[in-house]
Amino acid sequence: MTDLYTKKLNQIKIDKEQYDAFLSNKSTVVKAGPGSGKTTVLTVKIMNLLKEKIKEPRGLACITFSNEAVSEFTSRLNKMGYQKRKNIMLSTVHSFCISEIIIPFAKLYNKNISLPLSIISEKGELFQSILGNYSIDRSQVKLEDMDNERNMLIGNQSKVAIDSNEQAKKVALEYEQRLKELGKVDFIEIVKVATELIEEQDYVRRCLEAKYPWILIDEYQDLGKPLHEMVLTLLAKTNIKFFIVGDPDQSIYSFQGGNPAYLKELFEKENIRSIELKTNYRSNQEIIDLSSIALNLDDREYRAGTRQGEKADIRFITCKNEMSDQYKYIINNIIPECIGKNIPFEEICILSKTWGELEDLSRAMDNANIPNYFAKQGFLKNQVIIWLKDCASWVTGSSAVSFTDIFEYWLKIISYIDEKDKLLKVRNLHSVLNSSKQHQNQLSDWVHYMFEELSIKDNIIQNEQYDDKNIAVLEDFYDLTLTGELKDYSVKRFSELGKPNNQVTLTTRHSSKGLEFEVIVLLGLEEGNFPFFGNVDDEYKLNEERRVFYVSLTRAKRVCYLLRSERITYRTGTRIKEPSMFWNELMEAVELQRKNK
């Protein structure tokens, strides 16, 4: 049997650009288009570095976008035979900053940050009260504007110019002042202090370099300025090698500070190797060509690495009234058509702007007995629940998680200090997990059992590292297992959450990143809806909407439905809606393509 690593490595060797990226032994930026296999390159590269290049006790850091992504990554590496060892950090930017920079060094350098870290749970309230003090209307400065200003104030290496808003800046400075007075921090504050430490202290940089001769970063386009500043400083002042993967075309998180320009700035930087992964192993060539229309750019040269000669199937469906007609069309036409062509439910995905619409659609599909997977699982962003899910995997015999990992996170939850009863804690957790198997048929029973036997809530309340929001999240989660969408789930099914199980996937455009389906259905392509009317005249914002459209289209391997309604009712009355500009542009391109054939 060839192991997974060798299998994946052989795959990479066939693709010249992927192999170049894999072999690269200096700092490298990889621009990776949709379906280009970037995650494979990244994971195989990590395995190779650990096997061949980096000897214990040194290691590497792999930084990615969210806790979910970290957990996904860890399980991929586990399957490839990754052995836990010292100085390997798979984490989000925030956990990296906390555990590798703030905790070890903030005290040493007397940084003005209160330790242990206490994360503010009423950020919104604090922001509102500052707006009140300055008599600023909430339509003028949004929380996201303030955070953008704060991010801008971090570091000064990047040359990317960003518009600044005086009022938001005023609010930002006041906010940071008040935060300090409260002895609290938020994520931006954490990253800010970490960036300062890296910039100011040679020793901090040397320690990072010693531990992490390589730092790999995924989804760079969504990670924002603070990380970018950190990367630039470390590139300039250390020998740390970076392997940075991202796609500026898929940068859709500007409200969290993401900006495609940062990745581009790195891509063009001297002394960094730039590689573009140009082969798309997901979609057929026509989909690839058409989707680049969405970007309004004509210099993308992606080629299909699969489905040679296959044609795209793009449908433009105009419904009469309201969103409900679009739902009806899906239920009455699209789904039966797919069934007719033997396309499994798992290969169908409905994309919408908001979760609200999808909730309505989900109900309608339930009524029509169409199995559907409503992918809004906010609780899966919570680390404790991700951990519970890992426990569930282990309990049901999956190899993707190791008991050591589970145990290590458990030690964090119980903020364990003493070596002396470590063995006791290991044994206890092990036996609780084992005996929890008796409840594996009923998730709610299992969760209850885990909560009680491990006193999870008490432990979290006592642990200063967790803010109290966690308790609410856990309680809501338990409610879901009793009466909500997780009712009647088995533990195994819970452990597989995040992946549809012979169901049609319903998700938002933003959350669809990284997913792929044979058939994509895009809802709500009316003028004013997509792109949002307020963004049309702002080039920066319009481009972001274009990228959202691009991300949506590129989820499709072959088939794409675009739906719109002629009349939609708002609070102010019913309006006749023209098709979205994206609809028109794409339709034009499709017609041109047909004519050329």
Partner 1 sequence: MGINVNGPYISKVRIKNFRNFNEEEVNLSHKQVIIGENNIGKTNFLRAIQLILDPKLSDDDRNLIETDFYEGLDSPMENGEEIEISIDIRGFDHNKNLLSILSDGTIEDNPCTIRLTYRYYATLNNDGTYTYQYKILQGNSEEIQFTHYHRRFLNIKVIPPIRDVEAELRNKRKSPINQLIKEYDIKQEELEQISKGLKKTSEEVLTIDELKHLTESINNRYSNIIGQQVPDTKLSLETMDLDPNRILNSLKIMLGNNKRPTSDTSLGLTNILYISLVLLSLEDKTIPPILQEDTYDRLLHEGNSDVLKTCYTQNESSKYHLNNDISVEDYERLYSFMEDQLSSNKGLTILAIEEPESHLHPALQRIIYKDVMRSNTSVLMTTHSPYITSVAPLNSIVHLRLTEGSTSIKATASLELDDRDQKDLERYIDVKKGEIYFGKGVILVEGVAEEYLIPKFADSLGYQLDNKGIICCNINSTNFYPYVKYLKTLGIPHVVITDGDYYYNKMVKNKNGKLSQKKIFHEMFNEKHNELGYGYEGLERTKDLMINLGEICNDNIPDDINEEGKFYRESDVFIGMHTLEVDMMEVSVEKKSIDVWTQIFDDLTAGGDGQKKKFKDSLQKGDFAACLKKIESNYSKIGKGRFAQALSAECNKNNIPEYIEAAIKRIYFKVDDEQ
Contact flag: residue 423 with partner 1 (CB under 8 A): no
Pull the structure tokens for residue 548. 């959202």
Q: How far is the CB of 263 from partner 1 (least distance, A)?
A: 22
Nearer to partner 1, 129 or 239 (CB): 239
Distance of closest approach, residue 86 Cβ to partner 1, in angstroms: 6
Cis peptide leading into 104, omega within 30 of 0? Answer: no
Regarding 35 and contact with partner 1 (CB under 8 A), the answer is no
Q: Report 233-262 residues binding partner 1 (CB under 8 A).
A: 239, 241
Nearer to partner 1, 42 or 204 (CB): 204
CB of 236 to partner 1, least distance (A): 15
Sheet harboring 214-217: ordered strands across?
A: 88-92, 60-64, 214-217, 241-246, 28-32, 273-277
Per CB under 8 A, 84 contacts partner 1: no
Q: Is 164 in the site for partner 1 (CB under 8 A)?
A: no
Give the C-alpha separation, 74 to 62, whole Å: 10
Closer residue to partner 1, CB minimum distance, 108 or 472: 108
Cis (ω within 30 of 0) for the bond into 226?
Answer: no
Work out how close the CB of 108 gets to partner 1 at its nearest, in angstroms, rounded to a whole number.
Answer: 6
- Per the CB < 8 A criterion, the answer to whether 179 and 126 are in contact is yes
Cβ-based nearer residue to partner 1, 316 or 409: 409
Contact of 136 with 126, CB cutoff 8 Å = no
Choose among 587, 558, 37: nearest CA to 309.
558
Distance CA 45, CA 434 (A): 35
Given the rule CB under 8 A, which of 143-151, 207-215, 496-504, 561-569 is the region that contacts partner 1? 207-215
Q: Which of 16, 206, 499, 594 binds partner 1 (CB under 8 A)?
A: 206
Token pair listed for 176 = 């940071």
Residues of this chain, 95-134, that bind partner 1 according to CB under 8 A: 104-105, 107-108
Nearer residue to partner 1 within complex by CB, 420 or 597: 420
Say which residues have a Cβ less than 8 Å from residue 432's Cβ, sequence separation at least 6.
450, 453, 454
Stretch binding partner 1 (CB under 8 A), from 113-121, 150-158, 198-206, 304-312: 198-206
Which string of DSSP letters, residue by residue, matches 306-320? SSTTPPPEEEEEEEE
CB of 408 to partner 1, least distance (A): 13
Residue 584 within binding range of partner 1, rule CB under 8 A: no
* Rounded least distance, CB 14 to partner 1, Å: 22
Cβ proximity to partner 1, 57 vs 378, nearer residue: 57
Minimum CB separation of residue 53 from partner 1 in Å reads: 8
The full DSSP string for 398-462 is -SSS-HHHHHHHHHHHTT---STTHHHHHHHHHHHHHHGGGGTT-HHHHHHHHHHHHTHHHHHHH
Of 416 and 540, CB closest to partner 1: 416
The residues facing 315 across adjacent strands are 561
Q: Phi and psi for 531 in degrees, rounded to 5?
A: -70, 150
From the list 111, 211, 307, 547, which residue makes contact with partner 1 (rule: CB under 8 A)? 211
Given the complex with partner 1, which of 52 and 181 has the nearer CB atom?
52
Distances, alpha carbon 139 to alpha carbons 447, 538, 544, in Å = 42, 17, 21
Pick the closer one to partner 1 by CB: 49 or 556.
49
Closest CA relative to residue 443, chosen from 399, 402, 407, 496: 496
Which of 6, 25, 455, 501 binds partner 1 (CB under 8 A)? It is 25
**Site mask for partner 1 (CB under 8 A), range 36-65, x = bound:** -------------------xxxxx------
Residues making up the chain, counted from first to last: 597
CA angle 547-548-554, nearest 5°?
85
- Please give the helix or strand (H or E) that residue 94 lies within, else none: helix 93-96
Q: How far apart are CA 176 and CA 168, in angstroms?
A: 12
Contact between 27 and 217 under an 8 Å Cβ cutoff? The reply is no
x-marked contacts with partner 1 along 382-421 as a string, rule CB under 8 A: -----------------------------------xxxx-
What's the one-letter identity of residue 6?
T
Query: How far apart are the C-alpha atoms of 517 and 81, rounded to whole Å?
Result: 28
Does residue 597 touch partner 1 according to CB under 8 A?
no
Residue 216 beta carbon to partner 1: minimum distance, rounded to whole angstroms: 16
For position 183 contacting partner 1 by CB under 8 A, the verdict is no
Q: Which of 87, 118, 167, 490 binds partner 1 (CB under 8 A)?
A: 87
Contact between residue 281 and residue 306 where contact means Cβ atoms under 8 Å apart:
yes
Is position 269 an interface residue for partner 1 (rule: CB under 8 A)? Answer: no
| Total residues binding partner 1 (CB under 8 A) | 27
Tell the smallest beta-carbon distance from residue 385 to partner 1 (Å).
25
Question: Is 257 within 8 Å of 246 (Cβ atoms)?
Answer: no
Residue 205 binds to partner 1 (criterion: CB under 8 A): no
Minimum CB distance to partner 1, residue 23 (Å): 10
> Which one of residues 14, 210, 339, 424 is an interface residue with partner 1 (CB under 8 A)?
210
Residue closer to partner 1, measured from CB, 26 or 303:
26
- The amino acid occupying position 141 is V
CA-CA distance, 86 to 194, in Å (whole number)?
22
Query: Would you give the end-to-end CA distance of the chain in angstroms?
Result: 45
Nearer to partner 1, 201 or 535 (CB): 201
In the complex with partner 1, which residue's Cβ is closer, 108 or 182?
A: 108
Rounded CA-CA distance 506/372 in Å is 7
424 forms part of the interface with partner 1 (CB under 8 A): no
Report the residue from 207, 295, 331, 380 that binds partner 1 according to the rule CB under 8 A: 207
Give residues in contact with partner 1 (CB under 8 A). Answer: 25-26, 55-59, 86-87, 104-105, 107-108, 201, 203, 206-207, 209-211, 213, 239, 241, 417-420
